[in-house]
Structure 1
Amino acid sequence: MRGTVFIAGLGLIGGSLAKAIKAAHPQAEILGYDIRANEVGLAEALNIIDKKADTFQEGAEQADLIILAVPVLQTEKLIRELTQYRLKDGVIITDTGSTKKRIMDCARVLEEHQITFIGGHPMAGSHKSGVAASKELLFENAFYLLTPGEGANEKEVAVLKKWLQGTKAKILEVPAEDHDHLTGVVSHFPHVIAASLVHQARKYNNSNSLISRLAAGGFRDLTRIASSSPEMWKDISLHNKDVLLTLLHEWKAEMERVIDILQEESAPLLFDYFHGAKEFRDELPAKSMGAIPSFYDLYVDVPDYPGVISEITGYLAEERISITNIRIMETREDVYGVLVISFQNEKDRKQARQCIEKHTNYDLFLA
């Protein structure tokens, strides 16, 4: 497709969308804007964008497609600004926010000006941030949810999907309210619970510092998402407040149920509770990408001698297999390795496993 795509917000998501769109539509022009001048300069230097826009208005008024890849509260502000500009006829505006109902309500001001807005949420991410971490295939096989506004017709939705085909994502259309409930259950609510578990551990750590050492194992993995951006999750939680409050009240009732079972010392009910959770969890797709980015960890049971870590990373480097994180575990509760190596995707993890098995006889396990 030909045309000008303007991306406001040149972070991980905005940069990755720029790369994916350019790969599928090499004749398109990618304009970029960000309040952080260093990110804009880096995006230009890395050829992620074709040109920079000096102002948000400058980029918006040239665009056939406008992508708002900024935090949700900032998205609302930019939507209101767009009503004041002389936009091209037929321009399509979309966003990348993790909540949709409030944004779609805000976007009604665009529809009043006969401007098409289609909400969007690419459900992929990374432990890294910034435009330098952007990847053309960040969204490959991930779900990309669209929430078309009342003013968007099927042709305009089809045009946006065409622009986004380079993401190789699984694009689905859902109503905004359904989106916020779905993501509330499988993404927003788990982030709140993970944070609460960490707070509880921190409270007990004040009286017994052994807590933090024991939490280095499975507990750390269970609560990894609590390390996400506090600023971003503050905004998301406020945007999806009603759904989160409902889920938290339901969670409170669920915990009261567990308390009753424990007080009754009912072994059959406890078994059923854990068994039911195990059954549903084991039926979840193992390789599909969901609302929370997957972690691709490889556990290596290594012998304790100097240089063993550099030995393994050396093997991986020889085969040009990139790692995203590496750490040594102090405990072995529920997992079998002491060396944990993290990868960006399943392909890298599989190649790493084959590489290490080829060079060593160490035991390797997946989480």
Structure 2
Amino acid sequence: MEMKKTTIAVIGVGLIGGSIALSMRRDPNIRVVGYDVRQDCLDKALTLGVIHAGTTDLQTAVREANVIFLASPVEQIFATLHLLTELDLQEDVIVTDVGSTKSNIVAQALEVIPEHVTFIGGHPMAGSHKSGVEAASDRLMENAYYVLTPAPGTSKEKIERLTEMLSLTRAKVVHMDANTHDQVVGAVSHFPHVLASALVNLVAGYDDENAWHARLAAGGFRDITRIASSNPRMWRDVLLQNRDHILKIANDWASALQNVVTLVEKGDPDGIEHFFKTARDFRDGLPERKAGALPPLNDLYIDIPDHPGEIGRITTLLGARQINITNLQIRETREDIYGALRITFQSQEELEKGEELLRYFDYNVYKR
């Protein structure tokens, strides 16, 4: 007897929704239906084999669904929760989301969804510098943390069912309460976006008076502020949804910064050195090859002789092994000495392949 298929509805077929869909398709007994307001996105998803079927009608998408993933931006998740209350859903359906804030979403879901619907908040801590369904990958969440935030009293059987299903993403599924999630992610993801953008805006203001700021801000400055290039509207919504934790972290940050200012004002060399040392020790203890709340930099640096043909040789070597790269940048190149070539790879796996290959051909390769 053929096993009955499980139907999954993915609401919002972009990078995250598409990657979840591709992961679910690893199980031949799962049928994936995609919903999006844009037909062209659904057409791409169908052409790329991301979903089995697609529709711009929400009721059609969720009617037979056993699990519904809300994979749209945070503000749209709230709107969709309200829409689901007006639709016909399966009696045992599980609804989950992928929003990067959890407390307000979980509270809203518990308030509006029908009693026969189980809502379990979710946050896959994975991302990419690319967006859209064409960037979706069934390996996007591999080895990343996938946080579930079930409310008290949620059926253990439903939590286990969703956790088992998410094993198809190859992520590390963990459970915590929504408020704890928002505090932790606020500190390691949300607030760093504030800091990066504030620093960029500060330097941009200085640059209005002296254009050397922009000229000399390449290199390391671009690296430490890369997240300032994120979607402004999305981060507006994230900060407003996680306002209380962001304000608490901001106050703590202001105190920490004032402590450093005081050390500098006093001319305290031991205190200043201790400040940098404690930061270095904690950072150096972080796992290098583990996915975190912020997408990793898959960058490799190669010392190359500053003469024609070297970049072409390197890209040819990588291309011959079908190692995918997304960006190249020549850095600190000067005549008659070695220059630094930065290569950004599509994934950590591609980076490791590239590193092994280039070392084999005697290139000096290093990571930061």
TM-score tier (shorter): over 0.9
Q: Within 2, Cα distance between the matches of 1:5 and 1:189?
A: 33
Q: Secondary structure at the match of 1:124?
A: coil
Instruction: Provide the residue aligned with 1:363 in structure 2.
Output: 364
2:20 counterpart residue number: 17
Aligned residue for 1:302, secondary structure, equals: strand
Residue in 2 that maps onto 1:321: 323
- The Cα of 1:46 is off from its aligned counterpart by 1.2
Q: Which has the higher contact order (CA 8 A, sep 6+)?
A: 1
| 1:346 equivalent in structure 2 | 348
2:232 partner amino acid: P
CA distance in 2 between counterparts of 1:236 and 1:169 reads 23
Matches within 5 A, 1:168-247: 168-247=170-249
How far the C-alpha of 1:362 sits from its partner, in A, is 3.4
* Correspondence for 2:116: 114
Task: Confirm or deny: 8 A CA contact 2:32 2:53 kept in the other structure.
Answer: yes
Q: Per-residue deviation at 1:112?
A: 4.8
Cα displacement (A) at 1:110: 4.2
Structure 2 partner of 1:102: 104
Q: How does 1:1-367 map to 2 (within 5 A)?
A: 2-23=5-26, 25-150=27-152, 152-330=154-332, 338-359=340-361, 361-367=362-368
* 1:324-366 deviation per Cα after TM superposition (whole angstroms, max 9, x unaligned): 221122489xxx962100113332112112222333x432211
Distance across 2 between alignment mates of 1:330 and 1:6: 49
Structure 1 distance, partners of 2:194, 2:106, is: 24
Using the alignment, how far apart are the partners of 1:284 and 1:183 within structure 2?
16
The answer (yes or no) to whether the contact 1:142–1:289 under 8 Å persists in 2 is: yes
Name the SS of the counterpart of 1:206 in structure 2: helix
Instruction: Indicate if the aligned counterparts of 2:93 and 2:118 stay in contact, CA closer than 8 A.
Output: yes
**Structure 1 337/11 Cα, relative in aligned 2: closer, same or farther at 3 Å?**
farther
Residues 92 and 116 of structure 2 are in contact (CA less than 8 Å); yes or no, is this contact kept in structure 1?
A: no
CA distance in 2, matches of 1:348, 1:54: 36
| Aligned residues of 1:123 and 1:143 also touching (Cα < 8 A) | yes
Distance 1:310 1:239 in 2: 47
Q: C-alpha offsets along residues 258-301 of structure 1, whole Å, 9 cap, x if unaligned?
A: 11110000011111111111111111111211111111111111
After TM superposition, give the deviation of residue 128 of structure 1 in Å: 0.6
Whole-Å separation in 2 of the counterparts to 1:192 and 1:105? 25
Helix, strand or coil for the counterpart of 2:287? Answer: coil
Evaluate the alpha carbon distance shift between residue 308 and residue 210 of structure 1 in structure 2; reply closer, same or farther with a 3 A threshold.
farther
Separation in 1, partners of 2:363, 2:10 = 47
Q: Does the 8 Å CA contact 1:68/1:94 hold for their aligned counterparts?
A: yes
Shift of the alpha carbon at 1:17?
Answer: 0.3
The worse-fitting range, judged by mean Cα deviation, of 51-60 and 123-132 is: 51-60
CA contact (8 A) 1:214 1:330 kept: no
* Separation (CA, whole Å) in 2 of partners of 1:187 and 1:306: 41
Q: TM-score, normalised by structure 2?
A: 0.95
3-state DSSP of counterpart to 1:129: coil
Deviations 1:93-151 (A, max 9, x none): 00000000010111013455331000000000000110011001110110000011345
Which consecutive unaligned segments of at least 5 residues does structure 2 have? none
Cα distance, 1:62 vs structure 2: 1.9
List runs of 5+ in structure 1 lacking aligned partners: none
